[in-house]
């Protein structure tokens, strides 16, 4: 048996190697991770359809539903960002002048970093950033086509994989895999239901607030808030900052921008810090630190997609850890509840 002094560096090297593989093979692994996530959410509906329809017919309906959901989400997001981006590009000179004035005011009050900020805040840098966002949105379509193919194949083989696991693995290992998968799928469905409802509520409240203040593109800001709310912490922050900046340019009044900023923060606080934790229950029973770390970590590994799926991946890892006695301490330490207190859920 290796000495502890040798095992620690080996574990560190293995972890670094795993990070390198996840990042280098993102085009292969990320679609598979997304497909597992969608299969976990879609499987109960697939089973329900198979009670009344042939398996292939049920599968075809399920794939159509998934494709429609993705197209609807992508269309809403692209519409919201596209309208705001086109308006920003059209008024780019006005935005640059406004921020130059703000930077000069800050510099006059002893904040020297404002000069550096104004130097880098120019039309060309903004246009490059907006073009990069557009390119990423276009790339996502090809990414999700691959995901749908994986989902199609995965839904076909889900039952077969369960039977093969019982044959190939020991009863204990098979129980950890199968029970962990069932409980993980249940948690992910609950997570997505809560996240979607809270995103809808956030989007509607942002739209109402923007309309009340007369902020242009009120519906678009609501759509952006809805989409970004799927990314914990970072998404709500961006969804609050962008309308505030736009309000400053539209009204030319710091007081109006601050009022909108305060209103948006009240919305995010009520929904994100009060309502959502009480509705989410066990599915999000992990510490806020781990939630934020998951978003940043998986965003570093897989970019924007990693930020979206980072928390579900962490939920899945902790749920599997809770199934085995040797790793249950990890789930307990990071906030996942004891599975014995939850009962087995499918």
Instruction: Report pLDDT digits (tens) over 12-26.
Output: 788 788 888 888 888
pLDDT > 60? residue 189? yes
Residue indicated by tokens 């790793």: 327
- Classify residue 283 by burial, with Cβ atoms within 10 Å: 0-12, 13-18, 19+: buried
Show Cβ contacts of residue 140 under 8 Å, excluding neighbours closer than 6 positions. Answer: 74, 305
Average pLDDT estimate for 35-40: 91
Residue range 43-70: average pLDDT? 88
Domain chopping of the chain, boundaries: 28-168, 174-346
Confidence check: pLDDT of 72 > 60: yes
Q: Categorize the per-residue pLDDT at 89 as very low, low, confident or very high, splitting at 50, 70 and 90.
A: confident
Other C-beta atoms closer than 10 Å to the C-beta of 51 total 7
Q: pLDDT digits over 204-233, tens only?
A: 999 999 999 999 999 999 999 999 999 888
pLDDT at 146: 85
Q: What is the mean pLDDT of the chain?
A: 80
How far apart CA 249 and CA 268 sit, in angstroms, is 23
Structural contact between residues 194 and 283, judged by C-beta atoms closer than 8 angstroms: yes
Rounded mean pLDDT of 26-52? 88
- pLDDT at residue 303 in the model: 82
């Amino acid at each position: 048996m290796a000495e502890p002094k040798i095992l620690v560096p080996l574990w560190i090297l293995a972890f670094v190697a795993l990070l390198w593989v996840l990042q280098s093979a993102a085009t292969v692994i990320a679609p598979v991770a997304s497909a597992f996530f969608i299969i976990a959410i879609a499987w109960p509906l697939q089973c329900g359809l198979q009670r009344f329809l042939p398996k292939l017919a049920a599968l075809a309906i399920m794939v159509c539903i998934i494709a429609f959901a993705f197209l609807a989400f992508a269309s809403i997001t692209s519409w919201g960002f596209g309208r705001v981006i086109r308006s920003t590009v059209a008024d780019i000179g006005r935005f640059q002048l406004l921020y130059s004035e703000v930077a000069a005011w800050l510099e006059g009050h002893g904040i020297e970093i404002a000069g550096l900020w104004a130097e880098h805040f120019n039309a060309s840098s903004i246009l490059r950033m907006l073009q990069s966002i557009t390119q990423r949105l276009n790339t996502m379509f090809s990414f999700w086509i691959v995901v749908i193919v994986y989902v199609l194949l995965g839904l076909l083989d889900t039952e077969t994989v369960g039977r093969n696991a019982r044959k190939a693995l020991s009863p204990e290992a098979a129980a950890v895999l199968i029970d962990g998968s069932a409980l993980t799928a249940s948690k992910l469905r609950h997570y997505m239901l809560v996240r979607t409802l809270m995103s809808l509520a956030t989007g509607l409240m942002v739209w109402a607030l923007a309309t009340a203040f007369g902020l242009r593109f009120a519906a678009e800001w609501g759509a952006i808030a809805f989409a970004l709310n799927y990314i914990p912490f970072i998404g709500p922050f961006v969804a609050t900052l962008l309308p505030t900046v736009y309000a400053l340019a539209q009204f030319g009044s710091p007081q109006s921008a601050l009022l909108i900023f305060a209103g948006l923060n009240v919305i995010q606080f009520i929904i994100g810090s009060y309502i959502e934790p009480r509705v989410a229950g066990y599915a999000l029973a992990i510490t806020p630190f781990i939630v934020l770390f998951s978003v940043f970590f998986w965003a570093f590994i897989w970019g924007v997609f990693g930020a979206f799926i980072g928390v579900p991946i962490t939920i899945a890892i902790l749920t599997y850890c809770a199934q085995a006695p040797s790793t249950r301490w990890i789930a307990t330490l990071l906030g996942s509840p004891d599975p014995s207190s939850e009962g087995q859920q499918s």
